[in-house]
């Protein structure tokens, strides 16, 4: 199998393609990409056969911004006979992978794929049984073993392959299924919730999203992001000239500041979280986030970079570089993540966690 398939939001195939080409080259893996606009996936075909598996092991999935999932696959299986679609799929996996821990029969995230999704749900049952019979799949699901992926792109037409469970998205189709909370003031609440799921390991939530922490929300109205912080029992400074949802103000956990988010400074010195959803030029937002992190005004930040229509990959990379340079100049070590989340549209979400500063006298969170 010499291909890596990556899922993305339809319309972002070019960004996903530019990114995999760029990042694979950093591992000295070279190949070419096949892109079909609005298909919801991209195929990177490696020149060297064994490179696809190497990329799957070495290129950290969490470092990819525009990919929702990645797996190694072989040639497209076409015209699967309706009376036996299973045999060619089992044949493709035989000798390639054994004792996998899970099967995911998936489709690209497009409107046209909705019908196929229904087919996949039904097809999973007999396919799973056949894979188990051949020992390609373990009898019991095992989250520590590789995942078998079958991606149907049209009826009777699929890519078949595998991903490693320590270097993939743990979500079916790479999409966390989140339910909109009925009492949240805006749908964008799901962006911040998804960011927590993607950026913060579940076993660290109690420590890093802890009750009683102080948070600042820049561009907070009507309060979808603030709602998430309030749910975690935090105290929130919500900064925006617009109105906050009265139900949030009634909690007693929100202080509303009608102020410019680019000038607002922390009212106390133990703010842990900074979140920011202001609609502004990405460079301006990244620069303000750098101010907060350099000054030690917060420990962790989650913010959106709204993207222009052209050169979106380059724009994100430039702004991340700007941020990293500002922090490194000041001797500040940090973890960085950026992801085009399922709930993001023309934007990406960035997470930065300040680790420690080597500059004497600067607030040090070692
Ligand atoms: C996309 S909305 C935020 C939605 C919010 N995160 C939620 O979940 O409900 C962007 C907000 O940023 C605010 N905004 C834009 N520029 C701002 C600035 N310079 N200072 C403060 N707020 C600003 C707007 O008033 C608007 O309410």
Q: Is 310 a catalytic residue?
A: no
Q: What is the pTM of this model?
A: 0.93
**For position 360, what pLDDT does the model report?**
55
Pocket test for ligand 1, best of 221, 302, 347 (most atoms within 8 A of CB): 221
Residue 246: per-residue pLDDT: 97
174 is in an annotated binding site: no
Superfamily of domain 188-354, CATH level 4: Vaccinia Virus protein VP39 (3.40.50.150)
Name, in order, each residue with C-beta under 8 angstroms of 325's C-beta and a sequence gap of 6 or more.
none
The atom of ligand 1 lying closest to the CA of 185 is 9
Using a 10 angstrom Cβ sphere, with 0-12 exposed, 13-18 middle and 19 or more buried, the burial of residue 196 is middle
Overall residue count recorded for the chain in this entry: 366
| Dihedral, 137, 142, 146, 149 alpha carbons, nearest 10 | 60
Contact 23, 63 (CB under 8 A): yes
Containing 8, the helix (H) or strand (E) segment is: none
d(CA 153, CA 16): 18
Residue 24 · residue 30 · CB < 8 Å:
yes
Closest ligand 1 atom to residue 219 Cα is: 12
- Torsion angle, alpha carbons of 303, 291, 269, 204, to 10: 40
Residues of the chain with CATH 3.30.2300.20: 3-174
Dihedral sign for Cα 154, 159, 160, 166, please: negative
Catalytic residue among 122, 191, 284, 306: 306
How far is Cα 219 from Cα 97, in angstroms, rounded to an integer? 48
- The H or E element containing residue 326 is helix 312-329
- 224 annotated to a ligand binding site: yes
Which one of 3.30.2300.20, 3.40.50.970, 2.50.20.10, 3.40.1190.20 gives the CATH number of domain 3-174? 3.30.2300.20
Q: How many CB atoms lie within 10 A of CB 60?
A: 10
Residue ranges, CATH 3.40.50.150, the chain: 188-354
Q: In this structure, how many other beta carbons lie within 10 angstroms of the beta carbon of residue 340? A: 26
Output the pLDDT for position 168: 97
Task: Determine the distance separating the centroid of ligand 1 and the alpha carbon of 261, expressed in angstroms.
Answer: 8
Query: Does ligand 1 come within 6 angstroms of the Cβ of 124?
Result: no
Q: Rounded to the nearest 5°, which phi and psi values hold at 46?
A: -80, 145
Query: For ligand 1, is residue 238 a contact (CB within 6 Å)?
Result: no
Instruction: Answer yes or no: is 188 a known binding residue.
Output: yes
Residue whose CA is at the smallest distance from ligand 1 atom 13: 219
Please tell me what DSSP assigns to residue 270: -
Give the mean pLDDT per block of 10 residues along the chain (366 residues): 97 97 96 96 96 96 97 96 96 96 97 92 97 97 97 96 97 95 95 97 96 98 98 98 97 98 96 97 97 97 92 95 96 96 96 78 48
CA of 222 to the centre of ligand 1 (A): 8
Torsion (CA) 229, 197, 276, 310 in degrees, nearest 10: -160
Q: What is the pLDDT of residues 157-211, one digit of tens each?
A: 999 999 999 999 999 999 999 999 999 999 999 999 999 999 999 999 999 999 9
Q: Which of 151, 146, 131, 137 is nearest to 53 (CA)?
A: 146
> Radius of gyration of the chain from Cα atoms?
22
């Amino acid at each position: 199998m010499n291909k890596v398939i990556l899922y993305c939001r339809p319309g972002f195939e070019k960004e996903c393609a530019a990114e995999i080409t760029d990042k694979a080259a950093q591992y000295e893996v070279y190949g070419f990409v096949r892109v079909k606009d609005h298909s919801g996936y991209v195929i990177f075909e490696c020149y060297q056969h064994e490179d696809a598996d190497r990329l799957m092991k070495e290129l950290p999935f969490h470092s990819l911004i525009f990919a929702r999932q990645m797996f190694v696959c072989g040639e497209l299986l076409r015209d699967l006979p309706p009376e036996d679609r299973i045999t060619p799929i089992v044949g493709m996996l035989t000798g390639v992978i054994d004792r996998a821990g899970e099967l995911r029969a998936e489709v690209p995230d497009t409107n046209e794929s909705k019908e196929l999704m229904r087919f996949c749900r039904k097809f999973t049952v007999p396919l799973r049984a056949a894979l188990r019979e051949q020992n390609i799949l373990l009898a019991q699901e095992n989250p520590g073993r590789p995942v078998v992926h079958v991606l149907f792109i049209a009826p009777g037409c699929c890519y078949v392959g595998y991903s490693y469970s320590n270097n993939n998205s743990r979500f079916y189709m790479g999409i966390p299924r989140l339910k909109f909370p009925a009492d949240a003031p805006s749908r964008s609440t799901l962006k911040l919730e998804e960011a927590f799921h993607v950026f913060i390991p579940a076993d660290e939530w109690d420590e890093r999203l802890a009750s009683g922490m102080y948070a600042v929300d820049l561009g907070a109205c009507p309060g979808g992001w603030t709602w998430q912080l309030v749910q975690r029992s935090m105290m929130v400074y919500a900064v925006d000239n617009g109105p906050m949802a009265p139900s949030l103000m009634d909690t007693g956990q929100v202080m509303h500041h009608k102020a410019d988010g680019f000038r607002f400074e922390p009212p106390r010195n133990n703010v842990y979280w900074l979140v920011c959803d202001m609609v502004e030029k990405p460079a301006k937002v990244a620069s303000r986030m750098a101010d907060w992190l350099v000054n030690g005004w917060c420990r962790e930040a989650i913010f959106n970079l709204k993207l222009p229509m052209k050169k979106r990959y380059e724009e994100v990379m430039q702004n991340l570089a700007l941020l990293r340079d500002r922090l490194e100049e000041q001797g500040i070590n940090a973890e960085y993540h950026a992801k085009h989340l399922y709930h993001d549209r023309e934007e990406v979400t960035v997470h930065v966690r300040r680790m420690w500063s080597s500059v004497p006298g600067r607030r040090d969170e070692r």
